[in-house]
Structure 1
């Protein structure tokens, strides 16, 4: 059954009935040093082949990671995150790097764990400060389905307008083909967030000059919970990733003939990877391809065996 208010993959398999094995290597390797992050590492995003961003949900922390001898290591102690007023401890669950800045998705303020606070926050990634105040803040709480404070937004990604327009993406707000010019100051793409509470994905045009937003689309992933989202520009795939709740299953969505994101493939986790509490997932850019494969990285919120990062592969997109 499709959760109330969700559209898309009504006939796709549900968690536990995968269509196929992981398309990359079945093996994974540890990708961080022992005891570097501890628990709560929750979101990942590549900025470039040399830079991988990570966020911790408690305390809210942003890390800039670089490769160090085959593993990823922070280039400092990390940045403590705060809301735009300089207060609070955002429960940062997801992160994405775009041309408009670095954006984090949060589901609550750790200082008030009994209240849902589902927000997108923008931060200045060039700052050298140990503590970062959000330079932009969009409160989606009233627009999203009501969720327990700890089962709200878990993942965020960004999809460029160029892809959406070329694939005939439909704007559910206007009821017509998506027209970027209808949303002044939104930048050059839409921000998609995924919810743990119902497995839904919600696409927004953000007013980057203020705090306004418009929901453009609502998508069902076929998963009971979404822990991470990742748009793969080389293929146009939208990856929706679940954690140990769904045995580490992932679903791939593409824009269909009706202009909506719909599930086109379902994959198990890599065969040799344990059922970790993976809440973060990032796909390396095409420039990282070697021998037909490119790297992917998972973040384990539980820091099993004293490691939070593990790496694997996916096939490179055709040139």
Structure 2
């Protein structure tokens, strides 16, 4: 018992020292992560961060005592759940996160495990002898015998993400020597300077923050206009709407005010307004005038031709004189 108590005191002192020395804590989950893989992560983070694993009951007990003198860590206690560990660092959290998530190891499928990703079996030769055809038939996988071995004819979608892996799927993947899954430390949440947030926040850029800010401003302005309660975002729109209403009243009546004078002047005489404010008078379209002259000329030609036609029927004056 004395040795167990001594180990607990050492662990408690280590955890409290880490909580005091480091401002950033990355909470990671360690599902299907072995001690060798965890050691590789520790080696990559050496000098930049420290990894601490432990029992959740022990960690919560230490945190409750620590919160009495450091209330800002009260939000950290709910993050301690499941098979989790902690990475303490004072470096850039995003860089440390990338180091943690990049260390992954391929693993075989095991019965009863929930698939972290879709699993497919490619079409082609399997290297198995024809005596094992019944195994594929039990899984409804189309095969054929080619050059003395079993060949899968079409791509097989074996397991969907989130489904529980069965014994038959495991046996097939093991026969084909396929390691479909990759396991490693997964970042669950981040605690920094009294605030807890999702790791997705680390991927936000300045443009994303600006878009979200203006989206919130538009929603706030729309809400203020809808319920009739002005706020700093809706006031410019309220002034604009009020000005348009006053302007419409001024244009349709004799009432005027300084801001509406230019609008009324334009509606009264648009051409004069353009000339008075630097506009250019529209030139007369010479081509249009010529076109009108051309349209008038055929009428005169038609009249002359009609007169000539009458003279042709009864003879010209010269012909009558000669007669």
TM superposition score normalised by structure 1: 0.19
Higher relative contact order by CA 8 Å / sep ≥ 6: 1 or 2?
Answer: 1
The structure whose residues are more often strand, as a share, is 1
Q: Which structure's CA Rg is the greater one?
A: 2
More helix by proportion, 1 or 2?
Answer: 2
